[in-house]
Structure 1
Amino acid sequence: MAKQISGLFIVAQTPFTDDGALDLDSIDTLCDFYFKHGAAGLTVLGVAGEAAKLSTEESIAVVRRYVAHANGKPVIVGVSNSSVAQLATLTKEVMRVGAFGVMVAPPPGLKTEEDVLSYYAAVFKGIGDVPTVLQDFPFSTGVWMSVPTIARLIDRHPQIQAIKEEDIPSAAKITKLRAVLSRHVPILTGNNGVYLPQELSRGIEGPMAGFSYPEMLSGVHKLYSEGKVQEAHDLFDLYLPLLTYENQSQWGVAVRKEVLKRRGAIQSAAMRAPGPSLTPEDLKDIDLLVQRVEQAIARKEA
C-alpha cells in the first residue's frame, strides 16, 4: 500500500434516496465525478460517509459497488469498531470484494497509551496482514494518541502502511511524526482540507478529505508537488469560504451533499436519519457561496 499512497484519496459519500434507501446508481456517478476531478483513490465508509448508519450487508454492498466502478483504482475502507470481532468480520468481507486496504481509528473509551497499544494488538491479531491506515482523529474519537504512541504502533505493526493525521495542530504533529518514525509511512490529512497548504509544506503525501470541489484538493496537491507554492495557495484561497462553511461536522456533510447534488454527482442530498436537515436559509447561504466560487473560477480562467 505505502508505495501507492500519493495524491487525493477522496472521502466518498454514501448516497441515499430521499426516503433513506441506498442509492447504488449514484455511487457510479459519484465515483466518475471523483476521478474526473483528480482523485487518485477513494476512502469509503468513513465518518463523513455515514458508515455508522449502515447495516453490515449495506456496508459490503457499498464497498463492492465502489470497487467495481473504480476500475482498479485503490479503495480504502473505514472499518473502525470498538468490537474487534465485528471489525475483523467486516475487514474480511471488504477485502474479499476487492478493497485495497482498511482504515482503523481507536474506539472511544481508551484512556492510556497501553489501552491504545493493546487495542491495536488485538486488531492485527484479528485481521492479520491486511494493509491498514492508522487514523488519528481525536476530535471524533475522543482518544488522543501521542507521537511516541504512534511511533510505537508503527514499530510493532508493519501492517500500518499509512497514517491519516487529523489532530490539531496537524502541521506541527506531522513534523514531529516525520522526525521520530522508524520507517517512512505516508501521511494523509483530513479535516475537510482546511489546513492543506500548511500540511503539504510539512511533506504529506496528499489529502484524505471530502470537499465538494475535489478538483481544488487534487489541484493544490499537484501544484505543491511541482514546486508552485504560490499558485497552490492562490487556488486554495478561491475555495476557502465554501471550504470552511462545509467543515462543520455532520451538518457540513449535509452541505457537501447538497453541493454534490447541484453538481450532478448524486441524485439526492439526503442523509440517513438521524441526520441534519438544511433550512431554506441554509440553502440561500449555499447559493451565495457556490455562486462566488464559480465566479472566482471564471475570473481565474478568463
Structure 2
Amino acid sequence: MWQGVLPAVTTKFTPEGDLDHAEMERCWGLLLDAGCDGLIVCGSLGEGSMLSFEERLATLKTAQRIAGSKPVLLNVAEAGTREACELARAANKAGASGLMIVPSPIYHTEPRETVATLRTIAAAGDLPVMIYSNRVAYRVDVTPEILEDLADDARFVAIKESSDDIRRTTEIFNRLGDRFDVFTGVDNLAFEALTAGAVGWVAGLVVAFPRETVAIYRLIKAGRYAEALAIYRWFRPLLDLDVSTYLVQNIKLAEAIALGTNERVRGPRLPLFGDRRDRVEKLVRDAIATRPNLPPLD
C-alpha cells in the first residue's frame, strides 16, 4: 500500500514554544519537492510525546495541506490504550491516510498484550496501520510470530522494522511473504534492509538531506547498487546520528545547518551544547563540504 521514502518529520516551534506551522510547511515542502513519498508526523523525531492532543491534530492538518495526494500518517504512541484509541479515532475524523502505532512506550507489553493493544487501537481508528516495532527504544518487539497473529486484520498493512537486527527483514518475508509492506526504520541499516527487500524507508536524516536519501532509495530499486552504495557510504556517518539518545537534537541541528531552519526543541530536551554539539556540527559541515554529485535517477 505504501512504499518509498517516508520522512519522520521534525516539529517546528516558535521562540515562544508554540507550533511554527509556516516553518513546518517550508521544511516539509522541501522534502516533498525532493521526491519523498509521504510524511509521518508526531513520531519520536517529531517529539510527539511532548505535544498536546490538539497540537498533534494541528500538525497533521499542516502536513495534509502540503502533501497533496501523498499519504500523511499520524504516529500513535500513548501510554494508555484508551488514550491511543481516542487519538486514532480523531485521526480518522481528520482524514489521516493511516496510523503508525507504537505499543505503550511506558508499559512494556508482553506478546499477548502487544497483540491485544494493536488490535484495539487499529479497530478504534479503522485506518491502514503501520506497526512500529522498536525493541531498542521502546522495549517491545513485534516479532514475525506476532505479525502472523495480526495478519488476519487487513488494517495492518506495514511494519516499520527497527529491531536493529538486519536479519529480521528476511525473517518477516520468509514467514509471511508479502503480507506486510516492510519499511526500514533504522537509518544506518537502510542500504542493507532495502537490498534485502524492504519496500520503504521511514527516514530521519532525510529532513536535512532529502535529495541524497531519495537517490539511495531510487537507485537501489533500479538495481543500481554500486551508485547507491557510494552515496550511502558518504551518508553513513550522518545516519549514525539517528541511533542515539539525542537523535532529536542531533537531527534538528543537522537540519538547521543544511536547511537554514531552527533547532528549537520541547523540554525537557535542550539543544546540543559543548563538545557533543561541536562534534555534530563538524560532522554535518564536513559532509556538506564533500557532498557527492547525484546521478540521474530517471
**TM-score, normalised relative to structure 1:** 0.90
CA deviations on 1:230-249 (whole Å, 9 max, x unpaired) are 11110111121222134313
Partner amino acid, structure 1, of 2:161: E
- d(CA) in 1 for partners of 2:292 and 2:225? 21
2:211 aligned partner: 215
- d(CA) in 2 for partners of 1:125 and 1:182? 24
Q: CA deviation at 1:265?
A: 5.7
- d(CA) in 2 for partners of 1:228 and 1:284? 35
Whether 1:85 and 2:79 are equivalent positions in the alignment is: no
| Count of residue pairs the alignment pairs up | 292
1:255 aligned partner: 250
Gaps of 5+ in 2: none
2:141 aligned partner: 144
1:187 aligned partner: 182
Q: 1:96 to 1:183 in 2, by over 3 A?
A: same
Which residue, out of 34, 42, 60, partners 1:63? 60
8 Å CA contact retained: 2:122, 2:129? no
1:25 aligned partner: 22
Gaps of 5+ in 1: none
Which residue, out of 268, 279, 292, partners 1:285? 279
Partner amino acid, structure 1, of 2:116: S
Partner amino acid, structure 1, of 2:267: A
8 Å CA contact retained: 1:75, 1:100? yes
1:126 aligned partner: 124
Partner amino acid, structure 1, of 2:287: V
Q: 1:70 to 1:54 in 2, by over 3 A?
A: same
Structure 1 stretches of at least 4 aligned residues deviating more than 6 Å after TM superposition: none
- d(CA) in 1 for partners of 2:60 and 2:51? 12
Which residue, out of 2, 5, 9, partners 1:8? 5
1:264 aligned partner: 259
CA deviations on 1:51-98 (whole Å, 9 max, x unpaired) are 011111111111111111212211011012232322222122223223
Partner amino acid, structure 1, of 2:141: W
Q: 1:178 to 1:26 in 2, by over 3 A?
A: same
- d(CA) in 1 for partners of 2:38 and 2:60? 13
Q: CA deviation at 1:147?
A: 1.6
Q: 1:97 to 1:126 in 2, by over 3 A?
A: closer
Q: CA deviation at 1:141?
A: 1.6
Which residue, out of 192, 202, 219, partners 2:196? 202
8 Å CA contact retained: 2:241, 2:251? no
Q: 1:151 to 1:62 in 2, by over 3 A?
A: same
1:166 aligned partner: 162
- d(CA) in 2 for partners of 1:165 and 1:49? 18
Which secondary structure state, in structure 2, belongs to the residue aligned with residue 162 of structure 1? strand
CA deviations on 1:166-206 (whole Å, 9 max, x unpaired) are 0021x211101101116532111112x10111101210011
Whether 1:101 and 2:98 are equivalent positions in the alignment is: yes
Q: 1:38 to 1:22 in 2, by over 3 A?
A: same
Whether 1:47 and 2:44 are equivalent positions in the alignment is: yes
Which residue, out of 231, 239, 244, partners 1:243? 239
- The two structures, once aligned, show a CA RMSD in angstroms of 1.9
Which secondary structure state, in structure 2, belongs to the residue aligned with residue 91 of structure 1? helix
- d(CA) in 2 for partners of 1:265 and 1:50? 20
Partner amino acid, structure 1, of 2:167: A
Q: 1:27 to 1:273 in 2, by over 3 A?
A: same
Give % identity.
21
- d(CA) in 2 for partners of 1:298 and 1:197? 17
Q: 1:276 to 1:135 in 2, by over 3 A?
A: same
- d(CA) in 1 for partners of 2:294 and 2:38? 27
